């Protein structure tokens, strides 16, 4: 839509290097939904690079009001400045003209801490080393965010993603 143009151009001016080409992505299955919108798995095929799996968040239609788009610009500016092993990596934005904005993030394969806690088929997380490591990982991520003057504001098991080795990474 034309009303997106000022926000899209503002974002491009702030982080032009983080604008990604939509044709490089093959969208896959839906991984989940949140306040922001839907999250899908995708394959990112960049020329000269190996194909990698990523998570792509697409904004919901009801989040496309001007104040939400202004918040998106601020969030992308902040995310593009963060880099830490205990924070989910932000790769960039896909925002073709006349389409909804999409954020491209690291795909963390083992789901959320919440799902892992409530999964009755696995006993991987108990009050032993793995769960204590999760607490330390989350703490390390928060310390990093605070060192960058960034406050998470929504730390909960749904916003802690787990790697296959049960390392934790903070997300939104």
DSSP codes of every residue in 33-77: E-SSEEEEEEEE--TTS--EEEEEEEE-GGG-SHHHHHHHHHHHH
Mapped onto helix, strand or coil, the DSSP state of residue 2 is helix
Q: Is 94 helix (H, G, I), strand (E, B) or coil?
A: strand
Question: What is the rounded CA–CA span in Å between residue 93 and residue 104?
Answer: 6
Assess whether 154 carries a catalytic annotation.
Answer: yes
The total number of residues shown for the chain amounts to 172
Out of 119, 154, 158, 172, which one is annotated catalytic?
Answer: 154
Q: Which residue from 80, 58, 89 is spatially nearest to 11, judged by alpha carbons? A: 80
Q: Which residues belong to the active site?
A: 154
């Amino acid at each position: 839509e034309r009303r997106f143009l000022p926000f899209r151009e503002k974002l491009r001016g702030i982080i032009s290097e983080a604008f990604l080409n939509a044709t490089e992505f093959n969208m896959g299955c839906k991984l989940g939904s949140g306040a922001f919108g839907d999250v899908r798995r995708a394959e990112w095929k960049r020329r000269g690079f190996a194909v990698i799996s990523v998570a792509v968040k697409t904004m919901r239609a009801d989040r496309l009001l001007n104040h939400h788009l202004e918040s998106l610009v601020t969030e992308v500016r902040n995310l593009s400045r963060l880099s830490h092993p205990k924070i989910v990596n932000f790769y960039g934005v896909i925002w073709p003209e006349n389409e909804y904005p999409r954020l491209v993030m690291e795909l963390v394969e083992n789901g959320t801490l919440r799902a892992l806690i409530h999964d009755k088929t696995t006993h991987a997380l108990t009050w032993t080393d793995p769960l204590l490591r999760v607490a330390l990982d989350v703490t390390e991520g928060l310390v990093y965010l605070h060192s960058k003057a960034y406050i998470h504001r929504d730390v909960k098991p749904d916003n802690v993603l787990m790697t296959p080795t049960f390392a934790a990474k903070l997300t939104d």
